[in-house]
Amino acid sequence: MKEKLKEVLKDNYINYIDDCLAFIMAVERGLQPRHTDRYIVNSCYVAGLIIFDSQINGYKFTGEKSSVKYAGYQWVVDDYMQLFLDAGMLKSKMYTSQTVGKMKKLFYHNPELTPKGVIVATKIYITDMLNKGSVDYLREPRYFIYKGKVEESDLMSFIDYVEEENNKFKSVKESTLPSNIRIQ
């Protein structure tokens, strides 16, 4: 089983395979490690090897590979691409397998990413573009992730923008507090 898990992790462009294996083995045995790095947990989730079970308030092992077509990247189809459809983009411009593949590669090169961060940045991008004109100027979801090189990602630019704005807000908020109080 260990070799099959390694293969699934490699297929999903996951780094830190040994750490992921240790986490998965613990979850499979019913343990709920609470001090595992967020990247490790997200990687195992994205690979479709674990799911969050709200009844036990923890993770469950799904098996060696999820039967869902896009495994841990189903959110790309259900949430990310849906944002573009809701904005009025034609369904014919949705290339699901390419979009999911590009998202996997982006997560591989940027392990600090989270699905929530991607969705927030995408909402800001779509809102900004719709305020400037029409849906015709929106990039296709696959090309918004990146076109050409992963390093030249429009999505990453918007994620960085959101983080900068959050940091500005946090510093302004902190500067208005008494000096002995800090925001966590």
Identify whether 66 is part of a domain: no
CA gap 109, 155 in Å, rounded = 13
Identify whether 129 is part of a domain: yes
> What is the per-residue burial (b if ≥16 Cβ within 10 Å, else e) of 74-100?
ebbbeebbebbeebebeeebbeeeebb
pLDDT of residue 173: 52
pLDDT of residue 150: 77
> Quick one: 31 and 113 in the same domain?
no
CA gap 158, 66 in Å, rounded = 31
Strands (E) located in 58-111: 58-61
> Quick one: 85 and 156 in the same domain?
yes
> Quick one: 89 and 153 in the same domain?
yes
Identify whether 68 is part of a domain: no
Residue with tokens 């500067």: 175
> Quick one: 31 and 86 in the same domain?
no
CA gap 30, 160 in Å, rounded = 37
- Please list the pLDDT of the chain residue by residue as tens digits (184 residues): 567 677 776 666 666 777 778 887 888 888 888 777 777 777 777 777 777 776 777 778 777 554 455 566 778 888 888 898 888 887 777 788 888 888 888 887 887 788 888 888 999 889 888 888 877 788 889 889 988 887 888 888 888 888 888 777 666 555 554 555 444 4
pLDDT of residue 33: 81
Identify whether 122 is part of a domain: yes
Strands (E) located in 28-151: 50-53, 58-61
Number of domains in the chain: 2
Identify whether 27 is part of a domain: yes
> Quick one: 170 and 148 in the same domain?
yes
> Quick one: 83 and 171 in the same domain?
yes
The range of the structural domain enclosing residue 51 comes to 2-61
pLDDT of residue 64: 58
pLDDT of residue 14: 67
> Quick one: 81 and 105 in the same domain?
yes
